[in-house]
């Protein structure tokens, strides 16, 4: 007698309890067929979790234990059943066969599982391991009632005409035409003797076949359609830019039968895009689809047409099919569910469906099923009829290389993976949208789809990404505006800005995702990196670790060096950071470098000195916003990887790494390269006064490096302040002979911002042009809006903006003199030092840290704003070759004596001295 647990059944099936239905009666009439259990079964729960979980090894282990313990009774049998169907779904037949006898002879299981399913799985196992004797016993088992699948299984043990006769018994039962073949029964050779018919009022049926490189199968598909009893058809074969002989084969059919039309597409975009193009030219009042590798029974179209013809309430019909190899070996990836099932690829629908619902979705798989459910949602659950259910009116070709068999899009992903994700998102759209019309090639997606199966336009790709970011809560609007201050001023919609502009610029969507870091790690573009991130958030969140070029030594001390910005063009701070890394590396430290952005060229430069490079999103200190806790956590996770490390921060504008290091009690040094008291632009960016920054720094436990005495004097009073200037490499220190030229070339290297004194330089050039036309000026820096504005106002003839200089030293070597008229106080003056290293005198304002570098032995200082004095000094140098040479040599000697890596490395060594 069947075991039944009423209380468990009701608690497990609240719909039954809610409707006050007799539990046992419900189970017998409905529940059993629906796959519900009559009592609790742990092995059933384990199986459900196996198919839906990422932790498959855990559940396989538990099921294997149950399957080996016969004392567990039905739990043992069901575990064997579950394991057999699991391994069979992967085609691992020898594994599946091992569990066969563990369930096949337990008749208690027959009360829980469909008898046909048990026998079909058992037969498939035996057939695929060549145990034909056991397979025959299964075929003729008295428990396996007559079914279509049983006849197909029996045919697989036969050959030639006997095989075909066995298959035909199935069609004869349903009064359908038998198959015939003049050869051994193969998919390519079968046909059927059927009487063609043209009935009055038969509607035209358009059959759409998407085709891509189907030269081996398309002829079989076309023959089966042209051999239909229903003859009022047009066949549109939409060729998706095939590279084989498919088009030639289709064209030959078209020449012989005008009902076949070839539509050649210029670009490969997938089967559903190909279908959509054909849909635009379809003339039939009924439209249906057919795959390029399927064979259809000659009465299939007639049966599907008649089902709609005599019932105007129906809007669509489908038939059933079976998968087969070319030699008529039938199969299904989960064969225990039955080999014969609904063929959504056979969908035939009225033209009004197309007008109401539009096109197929542009994805790689499952759009058939989505369209099927879309029809049911709009026209009702009973609007689609299934013709001859249980009878295979089509033979679908089983191909291990097809999309349904490949790993990433395998049909098992309907339980966990891309198919399930797609189906769930589509059903949600069906349930929530007011209109379910799908455009042919929409710019915006109606619902998010897995990246792997997306086949839309570039704009739709971005739209899909936005939907996925929102669905996964992977975009942080507040953080995005906090991180990128320019957007706060513009008052943009954060996620729309990210999709339209920020993504291409490499801006990050959240503190957990470094787009540039992931793109560099994966060797992909930015949009692909974000797509991969949003679908693998658990694995890809957090800092991105890239390998450096140097080996890690356990016996060496470690410094974690943190940069503050990375741009395509290297300016003073970035270049000084590289200099510091070089010295620290040569002093023997293990270097871990952390950056907020992954510019490939800069990463290469950094990697020359680093053991590892880490990229993680972070921004600058801002008085108006609180520190980002997620960023602090990210830095702590980085620091935790390296025991007993010191933290070296390249600038005073960073906040979160300082806090993280303090919380972990790590010794921390801030290298101050900014003279904030005189840099109002930077203060505005930080939304703070220089006193605010000074106070904040004073409250930290950090020590400081200053690149000049004037910077050190601004810092809060602490004993642990080291003044270490920038340096030039000894191997690049080389006195260059002055150019032999009638012109006197003055070079400026700058970021071309107004604060760099460019307008003063333009004025100086005008004065020089009036008095001595030999003095010419070259300004090397990025082209920007300021430069464009100065051009429009008009420039003196002797001044030229030359664009950004990749090699500053080469530019300096070609000059007679270097000019620096910065309006804010320079904290050091890197270009001044580089000029000295090449033996070029410098003319500058007596301003900021420059007097620490320039004296009367190597350059000329004028009072701030004394444009006339600067012009006169330049003209005097142009006319005094001896003084020009003398100042150049003086600067070279001073640079060699005080500003090489050897001169400053001892200071670095002393500051970062690790106590053993």
Place of tokens 């091992």: 98
Six token digits for residue 312: 């105007």
Which candidate, 283, 279, 278, places its Cα nearest to that of 264?
A: 278
pLDDT digits (tens, 9 = 90+) for 249-259: 999 999 999 99
CATH architecture assignment, domain 730-899? 3-Layer(aba) Sandwich (3.40)
DSSP state letter for 441: S
Residue 215, helix vs strand vs coil: coil
Q: What is the pLDDT of residue 915?
A: 47
Count the Cβ atoms, other than its own, within 10 Å of residue 663: 13
Q: Which residues contact 287 (CB under 8 A, 6 or more apart)?
A: 205, 206, 208, 279, 348, 349, 350, 351, 353, 354
pLDDT recorded at residue 232: 95
Instruction: Write out residues in the chain with pLDDT < 50, as ranges.
Output: 402-403, 405, 915-916
Answer for the pair 640, 664: CB distance below 8 angstroms, yes or no. Answer: yes
Kind plus residue range of the DSSP H or E element containing 290 = none
Q: Which residue, 604, 599, 582, is CA-closest to 591?
A: 582
What pLDDT was estimated at residue 916?
Answer: 39
CA distance 568 to 599: 7
Contact 365, 291 (CB under 8 A): no
Q: Where are the alpha helices (DSSP H) in 572-698?
A: 572-586, 600-607, 629-640, 656-663, 680-686, 690-698
Q: What is the DSSP letter of 454?
A: B
φ/ψ of 593, rounded to 5, equals -110, 130
Return the closest-CA partner of residue 220 out of 158, 278, 293, 163: 293
Collect all residues with Cβ–Cβ distance below 8 Å to 327 and sequence separation of at least 6: 184, 185, 186, 187
> Could you tell me if residue 865 is left (phi over 0), alpha (psi between -120 and 50 degrees) or otherwise beta?
left
Q: How far apart are CA 46 and CA 175, in angstroms?
A: 44
Q: Which fold has domain 542-723?
A: Rossmann fold (3.40.50)
pLDDT in tens, 827-877: 888 889 999 999 999 999 999 999 999 999 999 999 999 999 999 999 999
Closest CA to 572 of 642, 651, 498: 651
How would you classify the pairing of strands 612-615 and 384-386? unpaired
Q: Are 509 and 475 in contact (CB under 8 A)?
A: yes
Q: Which helix (H) or strand (E) holds 669?
A: strand 668-672
Q: What are phi and psi of 801, to 5 degrees?
A: -85, 120
Strands 721-723 and 703-706: parallel
Dihedrals φ, ψ of 296, to 5°?
-115, 140
Q: What is the DSSP code (8-state) at residue 440?
A: S
Buried b (16+ CB within 10 A) or exposed e, 602-619: bbebbbebbbbbbbbbbb
Rg of the chain over Cα atoms, rounded to whole angstroms, equals 39
Name the residue among 546, 118, 537, 622 with its Cα closest to residue 338.
Answer: 118
In the structure encoding, which two tokens stand for residue 458, read together? 């570039």
- Strand-pair partners of 210: 238
The CATH number, out of the four listed (3.40.190.10, 3.40.50.620, 3.90.550.10, 3.90.700.10), of the domain defined by the range 205-399:
3.90.550.10
Q: Classify 883 as helix, strand or coil.
A: helix
**Strand ranges for 351-430 from DSSP E:** 384-386, 392-397
**CA 6, chain centre distance (Å):** 49
pLDDT of residue 404: 52
3-class secondary-structure state, position 244: coil
How many angstroms from the chain centroid is the CA of residue 555? 39
Q: What are the structure tokens assigned to 645, written together?
A: 């490390």
Question: Which residues sit opposite 396 in a β-bridge?
Answer: 323
Q: CA–CA separation, 406 vs 269, rounded Å?
A: 19
Do 572 and 603 touch, CB atoms closer than 8 A?
Answer: no
If DSSP codes are grouped into helix, strand and coil, which group holds residue 191? strand
What is the CB-side half-sphere exposure of residue 180 using CA atoms within 13 A? 6
CA dist 415 and 394 (Å) reads 26
φ and ψ at residue 252, rounded to 5 degrees: -65, -45
Q: What tokens were used for 334?
A: 């989960």
Beta strand pairing call for 316-324 and 330-331: antiparallel
177, 299 contact by CB (below 8 A): yes
d(CA 260, CA 233): 9
């Amino acid at each position: 007698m069947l075991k039944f647990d009423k209380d468990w059944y009701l608690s497990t099936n609240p719909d039954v309890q809610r409707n006050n239905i007799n539990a046992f009666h419900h189970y017998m009439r409905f529940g059993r067929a629906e796959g519900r259990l009559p009592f609790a079964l742990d092995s059933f729960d384990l199986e459900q979790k196996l198919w839906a979980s990422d932790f498959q090894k855990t559940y396989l282990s538990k099921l294997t234990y149950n399957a080996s313990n016969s004392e567990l009774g039905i739990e043992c049998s069901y575990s064997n059943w579950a394991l057999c169907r699991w391994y069979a779904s992967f085609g691992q037949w020898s594994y599946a066969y091992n569990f066969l006898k563990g369930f096949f002879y337990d008749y208690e299981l027959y009360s829980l599982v469909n008898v046909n399913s048990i026998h079909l799985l058992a037969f498939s196992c035996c057939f695929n391991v060549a145990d034909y004797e056991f397979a025959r016993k299964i075929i003729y088992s008295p428990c396996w009632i007559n079914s279509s699948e049983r006849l197909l299984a029996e045919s697989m043990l036969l050959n030639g005409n006997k095989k075909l006769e066995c298959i035909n018994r199935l069609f004869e039962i349903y009064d359908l035409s038998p198959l015939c073949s003049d050869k051994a029964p193969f998919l390519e050779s079968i046909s059927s003797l059927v009487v063609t018919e043209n009935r009055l009022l038969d509607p035209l049926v358009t059959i759409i076949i998407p085709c891509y490189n189907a030269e081996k199968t398309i002829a079989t598909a076309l023959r089966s359609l042209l051999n239909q009893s229903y003859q009022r058809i047009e066949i549109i074969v939409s060729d998706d830019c095939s590279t084989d002989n498919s088009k030639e084969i289709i064209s030959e059919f078209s020449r012989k039968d005008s009902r076949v039309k070839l539509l050649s597409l210029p670009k490969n975009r997938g089967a559903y895009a190909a279908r959509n193009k054909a849909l635009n030219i379809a003339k039939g009042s009924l439209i249906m689809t057919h795959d390029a590798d399927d064979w259809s029974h000659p009465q299939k179209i007639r049966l599907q047409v008649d089902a709609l013809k005599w019932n105007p309430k129906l809007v669509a019909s489908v038939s059933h099919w079976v998968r087969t190899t070319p030699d008529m070996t039938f199969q299904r990836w989960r064969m225990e569910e039955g080999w014969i099932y609904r063929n959504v690829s056979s969908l035939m629908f009225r033209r009004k469906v197309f007008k109401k619902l539009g096109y197929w979705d542009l994805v790689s798989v499952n759009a058939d099923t989505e369209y099927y459910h879309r029809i049911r949602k709009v026209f009702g659950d009973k609007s689609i009829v299934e013709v001859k259910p249980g009878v295979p009116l089509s033979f679908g070709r089983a191909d291990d290389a097809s999309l349904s068999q490949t790993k990433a899009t395998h049909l098992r992903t309907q339980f966990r993976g891309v198919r399930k994700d797609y189906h769930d998102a589509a059903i949600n759209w069906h349930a929530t949208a007011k209109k379910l019309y799908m455009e042919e090639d929409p710019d915006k997606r109606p619902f998010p789809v897995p990246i792997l199966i997306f086949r839309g336009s570039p704009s739709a790709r971005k739209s899909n990404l936005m939907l996925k970011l929102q669905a996964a809560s992977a975009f942080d609007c507040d953080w995005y505006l906090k991180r990128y201050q320019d957007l706060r001023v513009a008052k943009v919609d954060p996620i729309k800005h990210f999709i339209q502009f920020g993504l291409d610029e490499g801006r990050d969507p959240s503190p957990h995702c470094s787009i540039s870091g992931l793109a560099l790690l994966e060797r992909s573009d930015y949009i692909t990196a974000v797509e991969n991130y949003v679908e693998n958030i658990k694995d890809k969140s957090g800092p991105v670790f890239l390998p450096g070029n140097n080996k890690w030594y356990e016996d060496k001390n470690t410094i974690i060096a943190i940069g503050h910005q990375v741009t395509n063009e290297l300016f003073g701070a970035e270049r000084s950071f590289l200099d510091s890394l070089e010295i620290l590396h040569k002093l023997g430290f293990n270097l871990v470098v952390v950056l907020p952005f992954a510019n490939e060229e800069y990463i290469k430069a950094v990697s020359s000195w680093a053991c590892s490079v880490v990229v993680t999103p972070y921004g600058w200190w801002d008085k108006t916003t609180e520190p980002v806790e997620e960023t602090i956590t990210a830095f702590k996770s980085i620091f935790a990887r390296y025991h007993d490390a010191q933290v070296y921060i390249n600038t005073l504008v960073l906040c979160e790494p300082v806090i993280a290091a303090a919380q972990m009690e790590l010794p921390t040094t801030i290298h101050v390269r900014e003279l904030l008291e005189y840099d109002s632009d930077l203060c505005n960016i930080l939304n703070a006064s220089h006193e605010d920054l000074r106070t904040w720094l004073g409250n930290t436990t950090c020590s400081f490096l200053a690149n000049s005495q004037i910077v050190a004097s601004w810092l809060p009073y602490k004993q642990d302040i080291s003044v270490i200037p920038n340096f030039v490499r000894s191997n690049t220190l080389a006195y260059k002979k002055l150019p032999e030229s009638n012109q006197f070339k003055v070079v400026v290297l700058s970021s071309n911002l107004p604060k760099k004194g460019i307008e003063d330089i333009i004025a100086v050039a005008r004065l020089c042009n009036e008095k001595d036309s030999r003095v010419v000026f070259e300004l090397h820096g990025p082209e920007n809006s300021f430069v464009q504005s100065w051009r429009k106002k008009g420039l003196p003839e002797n001044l030229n903006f030359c664009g950004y200089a990749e090699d500053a030293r080469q530019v300096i070597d070609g000059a007679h003199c270097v000019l620096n008229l910065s309006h804010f106080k320079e904290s050091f003056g890197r270009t001044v030092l580089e000029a000295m290293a090449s033996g070029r005198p410098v003319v500058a304002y007596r301003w900021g840290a420059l007097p620490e570098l320039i004296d009367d032995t190597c350059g000329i200082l004028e009072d701030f704003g004394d444009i006339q004095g600067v012009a006169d000094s330049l003209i005097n140098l142009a006319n005094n070759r001896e003084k020009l040479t003398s100042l150049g040599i003086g600067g070279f000697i001073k640079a060699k004596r005080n500003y090489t890596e050897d001169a400053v490395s001892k200071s670095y060594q002393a500051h970062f001295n690790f106590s053993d």
